[in-house]
């Protein structure tokens, strides 16, 4: 009987990922090409995109973001038959829709893999060869309950009693409610059962490999349970739409093995993947955690490769409390949302409200409320008020007065001239620590918390502005003028920090804000981000600088839902209705 090594090779016991100068491959799952994109798909992609953009801002080393479409398998074969088209045609069309939806939402992917591409097929065939040569495949007769929408055999413990489309009793998947079918076939099996120890060792040595922690714990529990061998091929006469098993044309490679290898084929496996592998972070939804955290690392180890560095897991979006599904007719189309709320409005909503650890509920009113209050009113209002010609007629980055805002509250030197109060010092402290806080939230895959902190600081800054009412200060009085300038200087410094930190989430709005503040392209990354240098007695490169042109309102308030819904209907793309 074949046995894998009990301990992993040395390089696998590695430190926390993503250090400076290192390469990093970020991935989204590749999307099933059997139906159009919905907001759940977009959420996976936006998380990865925001991580990529944040990493670029940190100038942390070369990074790529790969995505694509998962085009093989029974599910696609059946969807094509039901649509009266060929699988190839269906995939061509749906793959285009995904590309379009991602691009429209500003997902800055660097690579898009279609599993039907020759370079990917070649990588999968080679990977199969590596498994076969490693002695981890055997042919066996397999029978069990197969769930086509999940493309997976399910054990009895994951089944429930349900009804089929005609109302007849049948067995269904406990998790998704989809009908399962008893399937008996000759298949190639993968010795997953032999990988319990290596997987446990990998996880023990890399406690941050699966994030957030509840998902890591969940995988550890799975490893304490039954770990049966995995069927990794289907009979060709049942499944023609897939990559044939090399040297056995009667079998087709299991779609999950095929799909997972996209993470390797994109970096040039089997020739040149070494430059990127295993510095990879996979962003995945919780429904596909088992495939990424058990099967994929085991397959990689069996093929002589290292498991991925990190797997970042998120939960699901429901719609008004219900699971999103075609049959309920409540699937939310991301391109319609982007049309309604704007690219940045919708990105902000999903990333601000989506909490990886738990499911989140979507409804239109929630988007309008959040985006209006945080982007349009709080952030946009602050920018407009602090740069308005009435308050800043010279249209410059005003000067800061240490006399008005001394380093120490109530200090002797500033007695009589100091104008700042306790809350103002709290604001400065909060904004000064914000970049590090945001950084650690991004590193911990808690983008929503990073945004929450920024929103809190924006609120504090509005409080500062409101408290001191700069519009009431008399410009003709030199002392008042000095304090007015200082208030504006502090406010613009805060805005500059928010604009910089928000770039990964709302790139267009951040650009507009930073351009208005005359922050040049080379001054927008996180490595050189300073805040209120003058408060620390250092020169501020922005002080006295001419502001950028006034390009109007930073973020337009979203209007009435009825008007937007009308726009939503008009935005329906006819191509999608065919699917
Ligand atoms: N094709 C597989 C992945 C293969 S990766 C080697 C697949 N595709 S999928 O299209 O069904 O799902 C893609 C991503 O969308 C997954 O991360 C999944 O969790 C996510 N979502 C699908 N529905 C979702 C929600 N309702 N909410 C949030 N994300 C969800 O699985």
Please write the tens of the pLDDT for every residue from 397-433. Answer: 999 999 999 988 767 666 677 899 999 999 999 999 9
Q: 36-40, 179-183, 304-308, 487-491: which range is least confident on average?
A: 179-183
Percent of the chain with pLDDT over 70: 92
Q: How many CA atoms lie within 13 A of 62 on its CB side?
A: 5
Q: Are 334 and 350 in contact (CB under 8 A)?
A: no
447 in contact with ligand 1, CB cutoff 6 A = no
Q: Give 561 Cα–ligand 1 centroid separation in angstroms.
A: 28
CA distance 484 to 468: 9
Q: Give 164 Cα–ligand 1 centroid separation in angstroms.
A: 24
In sequence order, the 6+-apart residues with CB closer than 8 A to the CB of 309 are 14, 17, 206, 209, 278, 279, 280, 281
pLDDT band per the 50, 70, 90 thresholds, residue 567: low
What pairing do the DSSP bridges indicate for beta strands 360-362 and 317-319? Answer: parallel
The answer to whether residue 17 scores a pLDDT higher than 70 is no
Mean pLDDT of 52-60: 94
CA distance 52 to 108: 8
The owner of tokens 């955690």 is 289
CA distance 214 to 220: 10
How large is the C-alpha radius of gyration of the chain?
A: 27
Q: Are 100 and 93 in contact (CB under 8 A)?
A: no
In sequence order, the 6+-apart residues with CB closer than 8 A to the CB of 132 are 246
Nearest to 97 by CA among 567, 105, 117: 105
Q: Give 395 Cα–ligand 1 centroid separation in angstroms.
A: 48
CA distance 454 to 365: 22
Q: Give 317 Cα–ligand 1 centroid separation in angstroms.
A: 11
Q: Give 85 Cα–ligand 1 centroid separation in angstroms.
A: 24
Structure-block tokens of residue 453: 């902190």
Structure-block tokens of residue 554: 């930073």
| Amino acid 573: pLDDT | 42
Probe ligand 1: pick from 25, 26, 31, max atoms within 8 Å of CB? 31
Q: Which helix (H) or strand (E) holds 407?
A: none
What pairing do the DSSP bridges indicate for beta strands 210-211 and 310-314? Answer: parallel
Probe ligand 1: pick from 287, 323, 360, 363, max atoms within 8 Å of CB? 287
Probe ligand 1: pick from 27, 37, 39, 44, max atoms within 8 Å of CB? 44
Say whether 366-546 and 24-135+195-228+254-364 share the same fold. no
| Amino acid 261: pLDDT | 98
| Amino acid 165: pLDDT | 83
| Amino acid 9: pLDDT | 43
| Model pLDDT for residues 59-83, shown as the tens digit of each residue | 889 999 999 999 999 999 999 999 9
| Amino acid 563: pLDDT | 58
Residue 2 CB-density burial (10 A; 0-12 exposed, 13-18 middle, 19+ buried): exposed
67 in contact with ligand 1, CB cutoff 6 A = no
Residue 29 CB neighbours (<10 A): 24
The answer to whether residue 16 scores a pLDDT higher than 70 is no
CA distance 82 to 428: 61
DSSP secondary structure of 302-348: HTT-PPPSEEEEE--EEETTEE--TTTT-PPPHHHHHHHH-HHHHHH
Q: Give 286 Cα–ligand 1 centroid separation in angstroms.
A: 9
Residue 411 CB-density burial (10 A; 0-12 exposed, 13-18 middle, 19+ buried): exposed
Probe ligand 1: pick from 34, 40, 120, max atoms within 8 Å of CB? 40
| Model pLDDT for residues 328-358, shown as the tens digit of each residue | 889 999 999 999 999 999 999 999 999 999 9
The answer to whether residue 527 scores a pLDDT higher than 90 is no
| Amino acid 84: pLDDT | 96
98 in contact with ligand 1, CB cutoff 6 A = no
79 in contact with ligand 1, CB cutoff 6 A = no
CATH topology of domain 366-546: Isoleucyl-tRNA Synthetase; Domain 1 (1.10.730)
The answer to whether residue 549 scores a pLDDT higher than 50 is yes
241 in contact with ligand 1, CB cutoff 6 A = no
| Amino acid 371: pLDDT | 97
In sequence order, the 6+-apart residues with CB closer than 8 A to the CB of 96 are none
317 in contact with ligand 1, CB cutoff 6 A = yes
| Amino acid 538: pLDDT | 95
What is the sign of the dihedral through the CA atoms of 472, 475, 479 and 485?
positive
The answer to whether residue 264 scores a pLDDT higher than 60 is yes
Write the CATH number of the domain with boundaries 24-135+195-228+254-364: 3.40.50.620
Distance from chain centroid for Cα 380: 25
Q: Are 315 and 446 in contact (CB under 8 A)?
A: no
260 in contact with ligand 1, CB cutoff 6 A = yes
| Amino acid 150: pLDDT | 87
Alpha helices in 206-280 (DSSP H): 213-224, 255-260, 262-265
259 in contact with ligand 1, CB cutoff 6 A = yes
Q: Give 284 Cα–ligand 1 centroid separation in angstroms.
A: 7
SS3 at position 199: helix
Probe ligand 1: pick from 36, 38, 41, max atoms within 8 Å of CB? 41
**Which atom of ligand 1 is the closest one to the Cα of 263?**
6
40 in contact with ligand 1, CB cutoff 6 A = yes
| Model pLDDT for residues 77-123, shown as the tens digit of each residue | 999 999 999 999 999 999 999 999 999 999 999 999 999 999 999 99
The answer to whether residue 561 scores a pLDDT higher than 80 is no
Q: Give 66 Cα–ligand 1 centroid separation in angstroms.
A: 15
| Amino acid 7: pLDDT | 46
Cis-peptide into 278, omega within 30 deg: yes
Mean pLDDT of 287-308: 98
For residue 284, the cross-strand partners are 313
Q: What are phi and psi of 536, to 5 degrees?
A: -95, 10
Q: Give 143 Cα–ligand 1 centroid separation in angstroms.
A: 26
For residue 113, the cross-strand partners are 68
The answer to whether residue 385 scores a pLDDT higher than 50 is yes
Residue 161 CB-density burial (10 A; 0-12 exposed, 13-18 middle, 19+ buried): exposed
Q: What is the mean pLDDT of the chain?
A: 92
Q: Could you tell me the residue ranges of all domains in the chain? A: 24-135+195-228+254-364, 366-546
| Amino acid 375: pLDDT | 98
Per-residue burial over 227-243, b if 16 or more Cβ lie within 10 Å, else e, is bebbbbbbeeeebebbb
Alpha helices in 206-253 (DSSP H): 213-224
30 in contact with ligand 1, CB cutoff 6 A = yes
Comparing 178 with 504, the larger pLDDT belongs to 504
């Amino acid at each position: 009987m074949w046995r894998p090594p009990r301990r992993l090779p040395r390089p696998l016991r590695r430190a926390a990922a993503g250090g400076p100068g290192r390469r990093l491959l970020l991935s989204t799952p590749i999307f099933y090409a059997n139906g159009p994109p919905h907001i759940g798909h977009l959420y996976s992609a936006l998380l990865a995109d925001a991580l990529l953009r944040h990493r670029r801002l940190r100038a942390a080393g070369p990074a790529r973001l790969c995505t694509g479409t998962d085009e093989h398998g029974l599910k696609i074969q059946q969807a094509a038959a039901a649509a009266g088209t060929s699988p190839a045609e269906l995939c061509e069309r749906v793959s285009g829709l995904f590309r379009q939806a991602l691009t429209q939402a500003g997902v800055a992917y660097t690579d898009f893999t279609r599993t039907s591409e020759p370079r990917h097929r070649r990588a999968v065939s080679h990977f199969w060869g590596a498994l076969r040569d490693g002695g981890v495949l055997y042919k066996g007769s397999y029978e069990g309950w197969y769930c086509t929408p999940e493309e997976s055999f399910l054990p009895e413990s994951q089944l429930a009693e349900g009804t089929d489309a005609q109302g007849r009793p049948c067995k269904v998947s406990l998790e998704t409610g989809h009908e399962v079918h008893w399937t008996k076939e000759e298949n190639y099996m993968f010795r997953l059962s032999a990988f319990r120890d290596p997987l446990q060792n990998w996880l023990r040595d890399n406690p941050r490999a699966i994030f957030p922690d509840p998902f890591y714990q969940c995988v550890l529990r799975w490893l304490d349970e039954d770990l049966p061998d995995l069927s990794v091929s289907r009979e060709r006469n049942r499944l023609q739409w897939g990559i044939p098993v090399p040297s056995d044309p009667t079998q087709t490679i299991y779609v999950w093995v095929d799909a997972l290898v996209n993470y390797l084929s994109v970096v040039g496996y089997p020739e040149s993947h070494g430059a990127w592998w295993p510095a990879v972070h996979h962003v995945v939804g919780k429904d596909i955690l088992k495939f990424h955290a058990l099967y994929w690392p085991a397959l990689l180890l069996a093929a002589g490769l290292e498991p991925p560095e990190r797997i970042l897991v998120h939960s699901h979006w429901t719609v008004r409390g219900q699971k999103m599904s075609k049959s309920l007719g409540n699937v939310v189309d991301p391109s319609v949302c982007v049309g309604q709320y704007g690219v940045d409005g919708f990105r902000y909503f999903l990333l601000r409200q989506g909490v990886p650890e738990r499911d989140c509920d979507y409804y239109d009113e929630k988007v309008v409320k959040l985006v209006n209050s945080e982007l349009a009113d709080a952030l946009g209002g602050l920018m407009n008020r602090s740069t308005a010609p009435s308050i800043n007629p010279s249209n410059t980055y005003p000067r800061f007065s240490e006399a008005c805002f001394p380093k120490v509250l109530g200090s002797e030197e500033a007695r009589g001239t100091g104008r700042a109060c306790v809350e103002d010092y709290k604001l400065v402290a909060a904004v000064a620590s914000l970049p590090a806080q945001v950084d650690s939230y991004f590193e911990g895959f808690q983008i929503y918390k990073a945004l929450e902190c920024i929103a809190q600081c924006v609120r504090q800054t509005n409080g500062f502005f409101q408290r001191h009412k700069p519009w009431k200060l008399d410009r003709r009085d030199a002392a008042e003028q000095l304090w007015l300038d200082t208030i504006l200087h502090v406010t613009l410094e805060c805005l500059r920090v928010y604009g910089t930190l928000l770039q990964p989430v709302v790139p267009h709005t951040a650009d507009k804000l930073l351009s208005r503040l005359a922050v040049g392209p080379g001054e927008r990354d996180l490595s050189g981000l300073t805040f209120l240098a003058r408060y620390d007695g250092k020169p501020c490169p922005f002080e006295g600088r001419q502001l950028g042109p006034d390009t109007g309102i930073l973020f337009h308030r979203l209007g009435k839902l009825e008007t937007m819904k009308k726009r939503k209907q008009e935005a329906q793309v006819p191509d999608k209705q065919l699917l």
